[in-house]
Structure 1
Amino acid sequence: MELKLLLTVLLIRSATVAADYIRPPPRKALHLPWHSQPSSYPQQVHISLAGDQHMRVTWITDDNSAPSIVEYGTLPGKYGSVAEGETTSYSYVFYNSGKIHHAVIGPLEHDSVYYYRCGGQGPEFQLRTPPAQLPITFAVAGDLGQTEWTKSTLDHIDQCKYNVHLLPGDLAYADYIQHRWDSFGRLVQPLASARPWMVTQGNHEVESIPLLKDGFVSYNSRWKMPFKESGSNSNLFYSFEVAGAHIIMLGSYADYDEYSEQYRWLKENLSKVDRKRTPWLLVLFHVPWYNSNTAHQGEGADMMAAMEPLLNAASVDLVLAGHVHAYERSKRVYNGRVDPCGSVHITIGDGGNKEGLAHRYINPQPIWSEFREASFGHGELKIVNSTHAFWSWHRNDDDEPVKSDDIWITSLISSGCVDQKRNELRNKLMTP
């Protein structure tokens, strides 16, 4: 009797604490002044994975004649290797971009520090390559934008000892105003030049103008991902492998029905996954399929109907999405029902965007929904070994990262689900 009373008091107290949490007020957009530099000076430097033991370095110069080279080595100021890259640029109404450079460096040693310089001048940057084997840690934050809350999120991520940043869409919130892409590049450069940022597109990257401008011109020009390396014909969907994880980045705003190129590519990509080499299988896209927030309710339904059977047959462990400006974690779920062989779905569109938080949830809370809260923050995923990973979500609470949700996740390959579904996957992949 006393034990029951104690448990009841603790439950009431914990519920009261959660209900009494007062979120800090919204914060203003950041003002990032441009400091005058020579036109050939590299700016907006960021890196991304580009195939096995290779890294793509991207930067922008205002000088169209600036060389597209990256010098790099394992000692400060001593560059034993040089890689020559490619360049692009774009115009958007009255805006003309600088010269956008992409250079792939490597092969690089795993879990090693390299020093590099872009374009033969400017500051020296330092990066660390991911490990070859588990454990590995990912920082996760979507819908970043450029507000003071964004800066708080980035500061917290910088405190995390992570190897790769995963961003499920909505980067700069430029929304047609192209110089905001430049200010975003300067904002994230300290982090994005030091660890690879792997991103996919959101609705704020579309920026199409009917009859005048195709969609994703700015995004595709600035944030080139390893789509060719993964057999994709579009920068909007691709995959990569790092340590013991195979990670698929899908496009919520690219065609995804069963007759689309993305669907065909996904089937082929899944057929090549080797769960002995990469026991963990993760998928990211922008619009969540499982969402109990009133914001963007049902927007992912069509993509879910087309692609969830493929992901389920392949035993995807974890699905990460953004779009909804709040945090939510599901139980293992498939086809709307709790399923021990389904995926854990996490919505983490709470990086700090200018549109604010999505406060309203559907009640009662669905059975598949495990934890939900409308606060800005970021996630950390540490894959410890082939069977276990630790997920934690860190709320931005008055500029202090407060761990508000965490869970150990067991891989599906260790549960027997993968063997159970191999025939189902084979049948789905063989279907024209």
Structure 2
Amino acid sequence: MASMGAALTFLVLYFGYACAYVRPPARSMLSLASHSASHTDPQQVHISLVGKNHMRITWLTQSKDVPSAVEYGTSPGAYISSANGEITKYSYMLYKSGYIHHTVIGPLDADKTYYYRCGGYGLEYSFKTPPSQFPISFAIVGDLGQTEWTASTLEHIQNFKHDVLLLPGDLSYADYKQDLWDSFAHLVEPLASRRPWMVTEGNHEIEKIPLLTHSFDAFNARWRMPFEESGSDSNLYYSFEVAGVHIIMLGSYTDYGKDSDQYKWLQADFSRVNRRTTPWLIVVFHSPWYNSNTAHQGEGDDMMETMEPLLYTAKVDMVFAGHVHAYERFTRVYKKNINPCGAMHITIGDGGNREGLASKFLNPHPQYSLFREASFGHGELSIYNATHAHWSWHRNDDDQPVKVDEVWITNLSNSSTCTDSDDMVKG
């Protein structure tokens, strides 16, 4: 730590505002060998929430003869229930994926550990279902990639007793090299097979080659989310509910204009939100709307202009984004002004990607930007009850997690200041 620590400089403005944390360059890519002993062994296992009290188990085999079946139960080795799913695969230029299995199991009891086996044999895995009521905790990290920094960040997340992981885009950084999707799934399997990972797409998931490939082929095939259950017609945007929290995952790289399917779906989804049963409302997407970093300036402006009034009217509590490889926390804001009825925006695109950090910030900083730092790390959101939550960001400091920023958050559904009047909507 001493050798690397000598190269680090922590800069703080005169009023204690962290403006930069100069880090070493991104570490090298991990070399991940296949964990599969045979073509029939399940591998790359990850899970996601789907509908009420159900879980989708996704895994891959190299043989089509393995059934898409999952056996499960609440005791090790005692599989009293089973479910059958579906199998898919995709081709990308000369690459042909393995056989990707998707199986939904349930109904499941809340806050309970289940043991499961994929394909009828092989390793036993286990996961814990989220609670049905508060408190509930989320690990949040974006722009992961698969470098040595990524491995360190994942280790820190594993030590946080979270119920669900939220990832606002840029997962594998495969960037057309499809075997990197396989190595990424191997890398995250120890976490993603034990807690549900809820993800949305980033720009590195597009992977479109005009006239040759479609956008999001690998992402849609490998990371299927509960879009159909939420009334969406696209895996690129969806919503789900867990323990008093309604979470909306939006697509920064699919049409979001007022005539688009995504915009109309978002309107309908907001209309179905019941703040009595889900008092917390969170939105996640990739390209940030608020950003005082020099990187990716203005890239979220069009989406913000179109959709921010919907979020404001719905009284969204928090918005999480990635894309910018740094951490930044804003106060409640609307139309680029501090507003107690707006959402709190947080940029968390600092998981450990191979491109390195976005270390340059604009100065002077906007008044609504409260904390910013260019370091790798992760976030922890603990929602304790219907009114209060605690957010903290943990810097990946030479492989040690260091809590650098934290804040208590009061939600808007119980705010006496914010009403549903036309005046509030106009801002």
TM-score normalized by the length of structure 1: 0.93
Alignment correspondent of 1:430? none
CA deviation string 1:210-235 (max 9, x = no partner): 11111001000000000000000000
Any conservation in 2 of the 1:232–1:265 contact (CA below 8 Å)? yes
Alignment correspondent of 2:333? 333
Any conservation in 2 of the 1:24–1:398 contact (CA below 8 Å)? no
CA offset at residue 414 of structure 1?
A: 2.2
Per the alignment, in what secondary structure is the counterpart of residue 414 of structure 1?
coil
CA offset at residue 416 of structure 1?
A: 2.2
Task: Tell me how far apart the structure 1 counterparts of residues 303 and 134 of structure 2 sit (CA, whole Å).
Answer: 32
Task: Tell me how far apart the structure 1 counterparts of residues 240 and 273 of structure 2 sit (CA, whole Å).
Answer: 11
Any conservation in 2 of the 1:314–1:422 contact (CA below 8 Å)? no
Any conservation in 1 of the 2:21–2:374 contact (CA below 8 Å)? no
**Structure 2: gaps (5+ residues):** 1-11
CA offset at residue 423 of structure 1?
A: 6.2
Change (3 A) 1:155 1:373: same
Q: How many residues align?
A: 415
CA deviation string 1:109-150 (max 9, x = no partner): 000000000001110001000000011000000000000000
Q: Does residue 123 in structure 1 map to residue 123 in structure 2?
A: yes
Task: Tell me how far apart the structure 1 counterparts of residues 69 and 298 of structure 2 sit (CA, whole Å).
Answer: 46
Give the partner amino acid of 1:100. I
Per the alignment, in what secondary structure is the counterpart of residue 120 of structure 1?
coil
Task: Tell me how far apart the structure 2 counterparts of residues 423 and 243 of structure 1 sit (CA, whole Å).
Answer: 31
Q: Does residue 282 in structure 1 map to residue 282 in structure 2?
A: yes
Task: Tell me how far apart the structure 1 counterparts of residues 25 and 171 of structure 2 sit (CA, whole Å).
Answer: 22
Any conservation in 1 of the 2:21–2:375 contact (CA below 8 Å)? no
CA offset at residue 425 of structure 1?
A: 9.4
**Structure 1: gaps (5+ residues):** 1-10, 428-432
Q: Does residue 176 in structure 1 map to residue 169 in structure 2?
A: no
Task: Tell me how far apart the structure 2 counterparts of residues 25 and 286 of structure 1 sit (CA, whole Å).
Answer: 23
Task: Tell me how far apart the structure 2 counterparts of residues 281 and 379 of structure 1 sit (CA, whole Å).
Answer: 17
CA offset at residue 26 of structure 1?
A: 2.8
Any conservation in 2 of the 1:142–1:169 contact (CA below 8 Å)? yes
Instruction: List aligned pairs for 1:266-277, cutoff 5 A.
Output: 266-277=266-277
CA offset at residue 22 of structure 1?
A: 4.9
Q: CA RMSD in A?
A: 1.8
Which moves more between the two structures, 26-35 or 148-157? 26-35
Instruction: List aligned pairs for 1:295-310, cutoff 5 A.
Output: 295-310=295-310
Per the alignment, in what secondary structure is the counterpart of residue 132 of structure 1?
coil
Alignment correspondent of 2:5? none
Alignment correspondent of 1:91? 91
Alignment correspondent of 1:208? 208
Task: Tell me how far apart the structure 1 counterparts of residues 190 and 264 of structure 2 sit (CA, whole Å).
Answer: 37
CA offset at residue 27 of structure 1?
A: 1.0
Task: Tell me how far apart the structure 2 counterparts of residues 74 and 180 of structure 1 sit (CA, whole Å).
Answer: 34
Alignment correspondent of 2:265? 265
Alignment correspondent of 1:365? 365
Runs of 4+ with >3 A deviation: 11-16, 18-22, 422-427
Alignment correspondent of 2:65? 65
Give the partner amino acid of 1:392. S
CA offset at residue 424 of structure 1?
A: 7.6
Per the alignment, in what secondary structure is the counterpart of residue 413 of structure 1?
coil
Per the alignment, in what secondary structure is the counterpart of residue 146 of structure 1?
coil
Change (3 A) 1:19 1:257: closer
TM-score normalized by the length of structure 2: 0.94
CA offset at residue 23 of structure 1?
A: 2.6
CA offset at residue 76 of structure 1?
A: 0.2
Instruction: List aligned pairs for 1:14-413, cutoff 5 A.
Output: 15=16, 22-413=22-413
Greater helix share, structure number: 1
Task: Tell me how far apart the structure 2 counterparts of residues 20 and 226 of structure 1 sit (CA, whole Å).
Answer: 38
Give the partner amino acid of 2:291. N
Task: Tell me how far apart the structure 2 counterparts of residues 425 and 277 of structure 1 sit (CA, whole Å).
Answer: 23
CA offset at residue 257 of structure 1?
A: 0.4
Alignment correspondent of 1:5? none
Identical aligned residues as a percent: 63
Task: Tell me how far apart the structure 2 counterparts of residues 385 and 233 of structure 1 sit (CA, whole Å).
Answer: 32
CA offset at residue 65 of structure 1?
A: 1.4
CA deviation string 1:240-290 (max 9, x = no partner): 000010000000001000000000000000001000000000000000000
